[in-house]
Amino acid sequence: MNKRSFLFTLLTAAGLLGAAGQTLAQQAALKPHVAILATGGTIASRGANSLALTDYGLSSGLKPVGVEALVAAVPEIEKFATITGEQVFNVGSSKLGIDNWLTLARRTNEILAAGDVDGVVITHGTDTLEETAYFLNLVVKSAKPVVLVGSMRPSTGMSADGPLNLANAVALAASPQARDKGVTVAMNDTISGAFGVTKTNATNVATFRTLDGGDLGYMQNAVPYFVAQPLKRHTVRSEFDVSALKTLPRVDINYTTLGSDGAIVDAIAALGARGIVNAGVGHANMPNTTFESLKAARQKGLAVVVASRVPSGMVTPVGQFAQEGFVSSMMHTPQKARILLMLALTRTTDPREIQRIFDEY
């Protein structure tokens, strides 16, 4: 066990009798083992006072709390599982990069492959939580539960949502029902699938929603109630493997507005990106100059995905785009299309093959 890794366990109490006549050590051995990987975010942040609900973190001058304090604040979780904790990093999620993703994916896969862990909980900032969840959904090689959780209010805030979210996340990760559901998100009593979930409100605790297709289930009294299961390929049925990668192909997003042009697309192509996601308007529409710039990018060998800045609905292939070798994003938001395109480009540059990937994942 490395220095930052520690075990919260009842095993030291071995020999004492528990309620069911078993030793506490026997009870601990019967409980599932959940590993908590902490990465930072509001759930680990502290504000200057209980009403500092948006001004906290670095601006409060108070250091974030570590995994040990996070776990100690919610003793209820030991009812559901034997807990081990590990601080993978401790930063706001807007500051994370591809290297953090690769580290997190490797560590998650190592822990799940070791055999003695039944599920993983990852504490994470909410700003990019949906992106990390979707990335892991595509690269984790296990059917065991992997649950992402965060909070909208800092640990010092009035009505902080972190403790109950963490209790729900651990209960979910410890549950056999959460197996083979892909990576899930446990926020605000809701179980969301990584494919569809998105942050919809900058401050409200009821922010994570699945705008198309709905939630996978709900947490009630820390018990999971599933109502759906994901049909898209994920985890053990995913073809993507990042275990040997040091980085991912660069993909950037161009955001379309009334009156925008192709200048940013040209700049993206010039800086050496391997792919572009165009966040178009409506059903991926765009100004003519943007279209011309995307065609030029294709001629330079970049992959182009046409998506929509509209937060719900599907972008299916249309003739004009397909003729140019543009891939349609289907139900992926621009930020999730970027992740899938980065991974697709680790395997192919053929637009038909990339479209197949966008259809299946």
Instruction: Give me the least distance between CB of 125 and ligand ASP, in Å please.
Output: 2
**Whole-angstrom distance, CA of residue 11 vs CA of residue 28:** 7
Specify the amino acid at residue 129.
L
The nearer residue to ligand ASP, 201 or 243, going by C-beta atoms, is 201
Q: Which residue's Cβ has the minimum distance to ligand ASP?
A: 125
Instruction: Give me the least distance between CB of 65 and ligand ASP, in Å please.
Output: 13
The nearer residue to ligand ASP, 86 or 130, going by C-beta atoms, is 130
Contacts of 252 (CB under 8 A, 6+ apart): 268, 271, 273, 275, 276, 277, 338
Q: Which long-range contacts (CB under 8 A, 24 or more apart) does 5-13 make?
A: 5/84, 5/85, 5/86, 6/68, 6/84, 6/85, 7/82, 7/83, 7/84, 8/71, 8/78, 8/82, 8/83, 8/84, 8/85, 9/82, 9/83, 10/78, 10/82
Name the active-site residue from 42, 123, 190, 210. Answer: 42
Joined together, the tokens standing for residue 304 give: 């182009």
Instruction: Give me the least distance between CB of 185 and ligand ASP, in Å please.
Output: 13
Rule CB under 6 A: which residues touch ligand ASP?
41-42, 92-94, 125-127, 150, 152
Active site residue 190: no
CA atoms within 13 A of residue 356's CA, in its CB half-sphere: 10
Instruction: Give me the least distance between CB of 207 and ligand ASP, in Å please.
Output: 9
> Please, what is the Cα angle at 258 between 254 and 261, to 5 degrees?
50
The nearer residue to ligand ASP, 92 or 351, going by C-beta atoms, is 92
The nearer residue to ligand ASP, 41 or 217, going by C-beta atoms, is 41
The nearer residue to ligand ASP, 127 or 359, going by C-beta atoms, is 127
Pairing between strand 33-38 and 119-123?
parallel
What positions carry a catalytic annotation? 42
